[in-house]
Amino acid sequence: MKRLVSILAFVVGAAIAAPAVVHADQAPAEAGAMPAPPAEGDPHGAHGAPAAGGHGDAAHGGGHGHHDPSATYNYFDGLDLSYKKKDQYGGPLGDGALGPDKRPLGPGESEQPMSVPFILVLFNFGLLLIILAKWGAPAARQAAEKRSDEIKNALDEAARLRAQARTKLDEYNTKLRAAEAEMAKLVDDMRADAESEKKRIIAAAEAQAAALKKDAEERIAAEIGRARYELQLEVVAAAATVAERMLRDQASPTDHAAMVTAFVDNVTAAARQERAR
């Protein structure tokens, strides 16, 4: 509120000082812009300039001069609302003339109503500032607080979502590490099973090879035994043939019968021993 009052006081001071500054700046120009006296035979003045008091009068806003806005601006006149009945130069509005001296309208000029007093504009501005300070400031403060609460809630929600995302990330990382450990364990188990299966296969192959070797050795031994038995039979047959020939040539019939009987007994006994093996 104090700031608004300070701004209002500054604006009022500037408005009060503005007319004096403007008139002080315009005085030299107006003094140097005095029209030269008209020459003889020239009704419009020197170089075709209009005579003083015509439509080219700069002090009254002539159409060909430089118009001074401060000359027709209303600062304090008509505070009793009489400005509504005056023209821009302070004369009666609607009389077809300008100003209290009833100056006729020049070419391009028109009678305009007087502007609202500047002090009333300042008053309205100050009233607007007071209204804004009393009702606008709380509403703006409330809106700012509401916006601040919304931003705070959004930040809290973002922090909550960030924490939730971090928790999910940690959970996924934990699951990933567990999955990696499980995969490593499965690989180790598969490797161990493969190694055990390899050893089992090698042991089975070695056992089968040993069995085949033993079977082959038994077969070879059986073949050797059969070949030996056949050889013995051949030797016995050959020996019997030789003995038979010798006995036929040297022995008597009685000796032949005894020897045949003994040979048969020996062969029978040898066959029984061989089968017993």
Helices (H), 42-136: 69-72, 118-131
Ramachandran category for residue 256: left, alpha or beta (phi over 0 → left; psi -120 to 50 → alpha)? alpha
Indicate the pLDDT class of residue 233, thresholds 50, 70 and 90.
confident
Q: pLDDT value at position 175?
A: 93
Indicate the pLDDT class of residue 14, thresholds 50, 70 and 90.
low
| Site of tokens 């700031």 | 3
Tell whether the model's pLDDT for residue 183 goes beyond 90.
yes
State the pTM of this model: 0.32
Q: Which two tokens stand for residue 226?
A: 């059969």
Nearest to 89, CA basis, from 76, 99, 81:
99
Nearest to 52, CA basis, from 68, 33, 70:
33
Q: pLDDT value at position 165?
A: 95
Q: Which residue has the higher pLDDT, 244 or 138?
A: 138
As a residue count, the chain comes to 277
> What three-state secondary structure class fits 230?
helix
Q: pLDDT value at position 32?
A: 38
Q: Which residue has the higher pLDDT, 88 or 170?
A: 170
Query: Percent of the chain at pLDDT above 70?
Result: 68
Ramachandran category for residue 252: left, alpha or beta (phi over 0 → left; psi -120 to 50 → alpha)? beta
> What three-state secondary structure class fits 104?
strand
